[in-house]
Structure 1
Amino acid sequence: MRVRVTHDWPCSAAEAEALQERLRSRVRASGELTGVRTVAGLDVAYADGSDDLVAAVAVLDAETLSPVDSAVVPGTATFPYVPGLFAFRELPALVDALERLATTPDLLVVDGQGIAHPRRFGLACHLGVLTGVPSIGVAKTPLGRYEPPGPRRGDWTPLLDGDEVVGRALRTQDGVRPVFVSVGHLVDLDTATEQVLRLAPRYRLPETTRQADHLGRAALAR
């Protein structure tokens, strides 16, 4: 697929924060998805004790959740670890992986945050803006506060940063820990929640994330 990167990768925290501030105005936290045929999961795996990484993208059929396409790219994180700027450690390799796909997916599901971010511009937002493809952030840990949702699949509570709703704590399976869903780009929160539940028929994490994680870990093992 074609990814149009319209900026240089920043070299400092100040440059990265300025870029997030500039690009966040392009995020559109609205839109009901129609005609979704393929969904891509994006994940990054790190080698133990190293900045070496593997970016993996798994594209699945939206109905059957069977594999359609994939790309795996090794790399090295060159940007330092700074809270709120973690995306810049992973973006170059993920963009490289997306560009190697033969398929342009209809939805990106990112292992990370969307607008649930200090500057409302997490990894899912950045990738959505770069690609023009609707995107959702599904994180394993929250950025913000929430009340535990009910125990049943589909139960959710608001994820809050101050008084602002930035996402949802969503129970994808009965009795399991919630995941944290936030809008990335070109999709509203209700639709994002519906998509995550549809993509997680059996396990806590969406199948898109699970398969991308498997691809990345297998590549590291090799």
Structure 2
Amino acid sequence: MQDAERLQDELRQRVVRTSAPIALPRTVTGLDVTYETGSDRAVAAAVVVDVASLAVAEVAIHRGLADFPYVPGLLAFREVPLLVAAVEKLATPPALLVCDGYGLAHPKRFGLASHLGVVLDLPSYGVAKTAFVGAFTPPAEARGSHADLTDDGEVIGSVVRTQTAVKPVFVSAGHRIGLADCISLTLRLSGRYRIPEPTRQADIESRKILREWQ
């Protein structure tokens, strides 16, 4: 664990924090991993979604073994090798990554989205269903409402209402993208559902392949 923590600290120094707006990408790649209960077998999915239509453009799957134990705060060491393997199977290199997890909204300010973004040197951010660290005041009930997620006086993310009167999601920048763009993209990518389409589809695909594998 000490080696992982040391590497985490080294990689964290390479995170590019920015507030400068980015050009709207044509596609976004959503990422998720599903694990077999009681086993180290896992399926990672990388799903490319067209930003304009929210249609799935490509799916890449990697089946493998998670060779790092589950440790809170070090989840990236369990998932990044699987996710990188899936991303490398895509026919077209991704323009931007969105993860089911955290970026700066992490005790070390280096969650899965940050770790993966640094490793692949791609803009990346995280959208999580629950908060890991930080405090917030719930945003208003209307779709598009959002509130700061803060920790030790620092804004580490945003609590975003993607659907009216539905639980918010927790958005945080990972690497080479600002929080404002993360919020805007999350809303643009959330059509009829609470979860943005890229990670929603990655969850669907990884679960489907795991069922077939079993």
TM, length-normalised to structure 2: 0.95
Is the partner of 1:169 in helix, strand or coil?
strand
**Which residue pairs with 2:39 in the alignment?**
50
Please tell me whether residue 123 in structure 1 is matched to residue 107 in structure 2.
no
The residue type equivalent to 1:161 in the other structure is: D
Report 1:30-49 matches (<5 A). 30=18, 31-49=20-38
1:212 to 183, 199, 202: 202
Is the partner of 1:20 in helix, strand or coil?
helix
- State the Cα deviation string for residues 69-101 of structure 1 (Å, max 9, x = none): 111111111211211001111111111111111
| Separation in structure 1 between the aligned mates of residue 210 and residue 76 of structure 2, nearest angstrom | 20
Report 1:159-174 matches (<5 A). 159-174=149-164
**Percent of counterpart pairs with the same letter?**
52
| Separation in structure 2 between the aligned mates of residue 149 and residue 50 of structure 1, nearest angstrom | 38
- State the Cα deviation string for residues 102-149 of structure 1 (Å, max 9, x = none): 111211010000011111111101111112211111011102221111
Please tell me whether residue 23 in structure 1 is matched to residue 11 in structure 2.
yes
Give, in angstroms, the shift of residue 35 of structure 1: 4.6
The residue type equivalent to 2:9 in the other structure is: E
| Separation in structure 1 between the aligned mates of residue 66 and residue 120 of structure 2, nearest angstrom | 21
| Separation in structure 2 between the aligned mates of residue 83 and residue 209 of structure 1, nearest angstrom | 21
Instruction: Show structure 1 runs of 5+ residues with no match.
Output: 1-12
- State the Cα deviation string for residues 143-179 of structure 1 (Å, max 9, x = none): 2221111101111111112211100111000011110
Alignment length, in residue pairs? 210
Is the partner of 1:57 in helix, strand or coil?
strand
Instruction: Show structure 2 runs of 5+ residues with no match.
Output: none
Is the partner of 1:26 in helix, strand or coil?
coil
Report 1:173-184 matches (<5 A). 173-184=163-174
| Separation in structure 1 between the aligned mates of residue 17 and residue 184 of structure 2, nearest angstrom | 15
Please tell me whether residue 197 in structure 1 is matched to residue 212 in structure 2.
no
Moved more, 164-173 or 48-57: 48-57
- What root-mean-square deviation, in Å, do the aligned CA atoms of Structure 1 and Structure 2 show? 1.0
Moved more, 192-201 or 136-145: 136-145
| Separation in structure 2 between the aligned mates of residue 218 and residue 83 of structure 1, nearest angstrom | 26
| Separation in structure 1 between the aligned mates of residue 94 and residue 26 of structure 2, nearest angstrom | 8
Is the partner of 1:191 in helix, strand or coil?
helix
| Separation in structure 2 between the aligned mates of residue 44 and residue 65 of structure 1, nearest angstrom | 21
| Separation in structure 2 between the aligned mates of residue 79 and residue 160 of structure 1, nearest angstrom | 30
1:133 to 115, 122, 125: 122
